Amino acid sequence: MRRRDGPLFRGLCRSPAVERLAYRERLERYIGLNPVLAGVMCTPAAQGS
């Protein structure tokens, strides 16, 4: 794998703390449904656990 550096690749992997429960639940729903909405899977249950 090539080492990538520059303005395009800097700062892509930030993970700020999520403090509000409502926002966290929204993020979890988005992450869980993202493959379904993209058409990669038929249902969220197809992901397994």
Residue at token pair 């550096």: 5
Q: Is residue 7 part of a domain?
A: no
Measured in whole angstroms, how far is the alpha carbon of residue 18 from the centre of its chain? 13
Q: Is residue 10 part of a domain?
A: no
Q: Is residue 47 part of a domain?
A: yes
Q: Is residue 9 part of a domain?
A: no
pTM across the whole model: 0.49
Q: Is residue 42 part of a domain?
A: yes
Q: Which residues, including other chains, have CB under 8 Å from residue 10's CB and lie 6 or more apart? A: none
Q: Is residue 25 part of a domain?
A: yes
The predicted pLDDT at position 37 comes to 80
Residue 38 DSSP label: T
The predicted pLDDT at position 44 comes to 72
Looking at the structure of the chain, the number of domains it has is 1
The predicted pLDDT at position 47 comes to 61
Q: Is residue 3 part of a domain?
A: no
Q: Is residue 39 part of a domain?
A: yes
Residue 36 belongs to what domain range?
Answer: 21-49
Q: What is the pLDDT of residues 1-49, one digit of tens each?
A: 666 666 766 766 677 788 899 999 998 888 888 888 888 888 777 666 5
